[in-house]
């Protein structure tokens, strides 16, 4: 199509423009994943960029395209972290002043890196709890200060910059069947998908989103850009309440399928990547690999490229990542247990209900006063998922009054 070819030409131009600063990242063959899924699976390692994500491609392409008058006005952007680092590094390289708005929940590691990359050329403003809050504040600032807005995804120059990932993939590998791309606002998949489809229309472009922020899935389902009522910000690099208008229009023509991944599955994949491959992926970066289970039948005997979009993960998040993974795998459960007011109830629970490999990882009386009559919050870690049923059957046999805390319970969010 004419529009798709135009974007492909813009990607070619962007590749030349950003070559001074951008690294060509490796396309790494994964023996482990290839054997697991009976396919030829490659990982595009965008976590190995200087700023440890693909976002610098679009940011630098956009900012370096500004005329002198625009550069003097300075720039402003909003970001959950990776776009901010790309903008900060670009501002430093081009000696342009920039204001960067980030949600307060942004991992400390990302905030520190933004300041490191931008130095004296950038100022960081923390506002709101999610990307959309920071975006609103940044737009208001831009209007007030007459700064040029650098959108993280809904801009053709940014999309073209991200599309250079697709150009590199084409240069590194022939006969690609499937490419799996994470989606936040849609900039990466718009650029990569358009470029790959222009070279081979038979390539299947599969998008993947976190379950708690599946904004592109909803938009395509409704036939228009639709804002989510709420999101789970855990996969911060892809937690966007509303995709872009430009990216939506492009995606309607290039996406063959979208899969939605539970946050716990993302955490399990992050742990596997680290333990098996020595790869430190951020949650959004692990999305494409986490999606493989959903398309296992589709990719069998095919050549697949998964874009690992970023590796900016704060080490302080790993306890939360481990927790979410165990819950997702069915190995960790929480109960409210009312022990009867008679001797030996707790000892009986330990000796009669718990299996030989079950472990209590949390025990706390709910009431701080009058503990004797208050229920207890108990967290139990199992060796196998199938150990849950025997545990609950033994608790029933003991006639314990208990309630398993499910994910929809309000208190559950305080635990996980």
Size of the chain, expressed as the number of residues it contains: 416
Q: Quick one: CA torsion of 44, 45, 51, 54, rounded to 10 degrees?
A: 10
Answer yes or no: are the C-beta atoms of 153 and 213 closer than 8 Å.
no
Contacts of 148 (CB under 8 A, 6+ apart): 66, 70, 73, 74, 75, 76, 142
User: Which tokens in the block code for residue 231?
Assistant: 């999101």
Answer yes or no: are the C-beta atoms of 76 and 140 closer than 8 Å.
no
> How far apart, in whole angstroms, are the C-alpha atoms of residue 396 and residue 357?
19
Cβ neighbours around 115 below 10 Å, total = 15
User: Which tokens in the block code for residue 81?
Assistant: 């972290």
Distances (CA, A) of 217 to 178, 195, 227, 233, 264: 19, 21, 11, 17, 19
Query: Which of 373, 372, 370, 351 minimizes the C-alpha distance to 360?
Result: 351
Instruction: Provide the CB-side half-sphere exposure for 104 (13 A, CA).
Output: 3
Neighbouring-strand partners of residue 247: none
- Contacts for 402-406: CB closer than 8 Å, 24+ residues apart: 402/335, 402/336, 402/337, 402/338, 403/335, 403/336, 404/333, 404/334, 404/335, 405/333, 405/334, 405/335, 405/336
Per annotation, catalytic residue among 55, 97, 113, 332: 55
For 345, the enclosing helix (H) or strand (E) is: helix 345-348
Q: Quick one: CA torsion of 361, 366, 367, 370, rounded to 10 degrees?
A: -60
Per annotation, catalytic residue among 90, 309, 325, 332: 309
Indicate if 55 belongs to the active site. yes
**Would you please indicate which residues are annotated as catalytic (active-site) residues?**
55, 309
């Amino acid at each position: 199509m004419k529009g798709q070819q135009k974007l492909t030409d813009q990607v070619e131009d962007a590749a030349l423009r950003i070559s001074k600063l951008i690294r060509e990242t490796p396309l790494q063959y994964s023996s482990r994943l290839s054997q697991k899924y009976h396919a030829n699976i490659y990982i595009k390692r965008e976590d190995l960029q200087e700023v440890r994500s693909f976002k610098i491609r679009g940011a630098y392409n956009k900012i370096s395209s500004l005329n002198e008058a625009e550069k003097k006005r300075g720039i402003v952007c909003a970001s959950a972290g990776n776009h901010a680092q790309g903008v900060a590094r670009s501002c430093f390289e081009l000696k342009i002043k920039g204001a960067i708005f980030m949600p307060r929940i942004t991992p400390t590691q990302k905030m520190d890196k933004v300041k490191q990359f931008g130095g004296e050329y950038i100022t960081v403003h923390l506002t709101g709890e999610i990307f959309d809050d920071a975006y609103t504040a940044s737009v208001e600032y831009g209007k007030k200060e007459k700064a040029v807005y650098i959108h993280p995804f809904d801009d053709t120059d940014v999309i073209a910059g991200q599309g250079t990932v697709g150009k590199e993939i084409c240069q590194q590998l022939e006969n690609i069947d499937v490419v799996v791309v994470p989606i936040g606002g849609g900039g990466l998949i718009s650029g990569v998908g358009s470029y790959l489809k222009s070279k081979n229309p038979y390539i299947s472009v599969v998008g993947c989103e976190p379950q708690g922020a599946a904004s592109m899935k909803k938009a395509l389902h409704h036939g228009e850009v639709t804002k989510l009522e709420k999101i789970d910000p855990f996969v911060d690099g892809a937690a966007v309440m509303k995709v872009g208008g430009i990216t939506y229009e492009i995606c309607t023509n290039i996406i063959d399928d979208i899969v939605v991944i539970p946050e716990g599955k993302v955490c399990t994949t992050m742990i596997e990547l680290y333990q098996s491959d020595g790869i430190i992926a951020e949650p959004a970066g692990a999305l494409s690999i986490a999606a493989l289970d959903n398309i296992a039948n589709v990719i069998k005997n095919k050549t697949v490229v998964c874009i690992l979009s970023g590796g900016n993960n704060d080490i302080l998040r790993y306890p939360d990542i481990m927790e979410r993974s165990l819950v997702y795998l069915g190995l960790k459960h929480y109960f409210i247990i009312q022990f009867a007011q008679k001797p030996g109830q707790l000892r009986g629970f330990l000796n009669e209900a718990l299996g030989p490999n079950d472990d209590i990882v949390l025990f706390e009386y709910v009431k701080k006063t009058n503990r004797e009559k208050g229920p207890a919050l108990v967290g139990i870690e199992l060796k196998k998922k199938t150990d849950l049923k025997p545990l609950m059957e033994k608790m029933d046999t003991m006639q314990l009054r208990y309630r398993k805390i499910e994910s929809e319970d309000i208190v559950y969010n305080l635990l996980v």
